[in-house]
Amino acid sequence: MQINGLGKSYGAETLILGTEVGQGRAPKQQVFEFASEDISWKDEWLEFRQAVLLGKQPLANAGDNLEVSKALEALYKSAKLGKIININ
């Protein structure tokens, strides 16, 4: 996984997701570009607020947050060690 860009004047935000296809072969890559304005915080807040007002479970939960934390930890470790870190 490779994340580039900060948006706005820093360039488009991109995510490159590599999938292993076999030993000794280049990974299959999918590139996602996020060129428009980032409204995710606004949308997340509105969804959370609506869930609270309606007494429903928000879309994101503690398990989702744990998985994101694992992915971020692996990204930092990968950058520090310069190698791929598998997430279990």
pLDDT the model gives residue 70: 93
Average pLDDT in the chain: 86
pLDDT tens readout for residues 11-37:
778 899 998 888 888 889 999 988 777
Q: Please state, in angstroms and rounded to a whole number, the distance separating the CA atoms of residues 87 and 85.
A: 7
Segments making up each domain of the chain, as ranges: 1-38, 39-88
For tokens 């900060």, the residue is 6
- Measured distance CA(36)–CA(45) in Å, rounded: 19
